[in-house]
Structure 1
Amino acid sequence: MKKLLGILTLVTLLQTSPVFAQEAATEQLPATNSDYIQKVVEAKLMDNLPDGKFYPEKLISRAELASILVKAFYLDKRQAAKQEKAIIIPDVPNYYWAYQDIQTVLKTDIMKGYRGNMFFPNQKVTRAEGLAIFAQAYGVFQFSEPTVNEILKSYPDQNYIPKWARRAIATVISEGFINTDTDGNINPLRPMTRGDMAYLLNKYLERQQKQPQMPIVPGIL
């Protein structure tokens, strides 16, 4: 009886609280496919942790995101990254493991600091933040607002996407990089995991692969 009452209470909460429903849906993401993780590791865009395991459920920090994006998009090769003057970041000393990558994402304007030039390198990112920053490095398509709304309308939780991230996430969707849960939700407010990032990177790698040339058929111009 107690178990039944508990289930009924949960159902009631899901029906009456959109925020709770948004959070509950995050537990329904599909199981991680080790193939795409392996491809991303082999491409040296992400690494296994010191014990040799990937831990796809582990959350991504801002410092980790910066490091991944520098490698994926060769941000250190961009002209803006080559400016010699360092950006003063009080919470990222020059001996910090991701110092140079953080300097690069700030100089190229792919990521931004907070008030007081703080970066908060250990802060976790939401999926909306991670997807939007990825799109910033990739190149945000300048879709009109009606086009953005059209792209996003098929996702049940699209109203949870922050306004500032909608165009960027529409870009990621249009390029086929997005992953959703079993109900088709983007879960923009859920923290981004290493598995999420590996999926995104793998789709990006697939896009970068050279497309096969059109076969030449004899006798046809």
Structure 2
Amino acid sequence: MGKFISSLSLIFLIPGFSVAAYAEDQNRLQQPYLVNMEREQKQNLPLPDFKDVGVEEEQPQDSAQSSKAIKRVVTAKLMTNFSDGNFYAEKLMSRAELAAIMVKTFGLDKRQVTDKDVQVADVPSSHWAYKDIQTVLKTEIMQGYRGNLFFPNQRVTRAEGLAIFAQAYGVFQFSDDTVAEILSQYSDKESIPNWARKAVATVITEGFIDSWQPQLSPLKPMTRGDMAYVLSQYLERQQPQPDTPIVPGGSVNPQPGL
């Protein structure tokens, strides 16, 4: 697998990731994960306060495997605990939350974009994620829907979450054959939407998702724990690598015949 990775010289954004295609896929799915966060709040489920909060040493609702990833991303301030101090890894990701995470992770607000705000009918300037949503729209990391809608409370499928992460990270322009080879290990590969296949292949190749899982479950909603794992693996890749040791009397880059 590493052989063809080394031959890549350019990273591009997802081709064909258009507003129309995106909206068409969502309409086809009839937006099954559209929820109202205010209704959740009335059910006594705490909402994220998106402030700097400490990492709890013990979070019994999370597995031991995911706790390390959660602690890492909260420490890095890419995600936060809820106002009650718990992370709630099983809770589902919303588009607004995903937008905020992408801005923090990739510093999207540092990129040069137009000062003119994008008109989004369902995201008023008073919305907690207004600035982040404006940023992902201006940088085209995320797309809106027909009618100038963003659906900030809509749940994100795993395919969407991984594709949008890859959109910000950079999607490798694999050939169709290479994509098919990368995805071949998963029994549900045929359920990955066409627009997400190269993006999903990218995150698999870069080691951002569990390679031992037999299924990708691309049409299932993405949980906060799912995203925490992806971000944790990304942070791991950002760690400085050990310097190449220099052999005494030798050369780091020996020339042929010398």
TM over 0.5: yes
CA separation in 1, counterparts of 2:213 and 2:222? Answer: 18
Structure 2 stretches of 5 or more lacking a match?
Answer: 1-62, 252-258
Distance in 2, matches of 1:183 and 1:170, equals 14
Q: For residue 60 of structure 1, give the secondary structure of its aligned residue in structure 2.
A: coil
* Percentage identity across paired residues of the two chains: 66
Aligned match of 1:113: 144
The equivalent of 1:35 in structure 2 is 68
| 2:231 counterpart letter in structure 1 | L
Counterpart Cα distance in 2 of 1:76 and 1:91: 21
1:179-209 alpha-carbon deviations (Å, 9 max, x no partner): 36x7511110110000000000000001111
User: 1:61 and 2:94 equivalent?
Assistant: yes
- Residue number in structure 1 paired with 2:154: 123
- The answer to whether the aligner puts 1:102 opposite 2:147 as a matched pair is no
Alignment-mate amino acid for residue 64 of structure 1: E
Residue in structure 2 matched with residue 205 of structure 1 by the alignment: 235
Q: 1:48 maps to which residue? A: 81
The residue that corresponds to 2:120 in the other structure is 89
Please tell me the residue identity of whatever aligns with 2:87.
F
- Residues 15-71 of structure 1: per-residue CA shift (max 9 Å, x gap): xxxxxxxxxxxxxxx875201110000000000000000000000000000000000
Any conservation in 2 of the 1:32–1:195 contact (CA below 8 Å)?
Answer: no
Output the aligned Cα RMSD: 1.4
Q: Which has the higher helix share?
A: 1
SS in 2 for 1:79: coil
Match of 1:189 among 219, 222, 225: 219
Given the superposition, is the C-alpha separation of residues 183 and 220 from structure 1 closer, same or farther in structure 2, using an over 3 Å criterion?
closer
Instruction: Tell me the TM-score normalised to structure 1 length.
Output: 0.82
In the TM superposition, structure 1's runs of 4+ consecutive aligned residues that sit over 4 Å from their partners are none
Tell me, in whole angstroms, the C-alpha distance in 1 between the residues paired with 2:122 and 2:237.
Answer: 36
168-177 or 207-216, larger mean C-alpha shift:
207-216
- Specify the alignment match of 1:143 in structure 2: 174
Aligned length: 189
CA distance in 1, matches of 2:245, 2:184: 38
1:219 aligns with 2:249: yes
Q: Which runs of 5+ in 1 are unaligned?
A: 1-29
Q: C-alpha separation between the residues in 2 aligned to 1:187 and 1:40?
A: 23
In the superposition, the TM-score normalised over structure 2's length comes to: 0.71
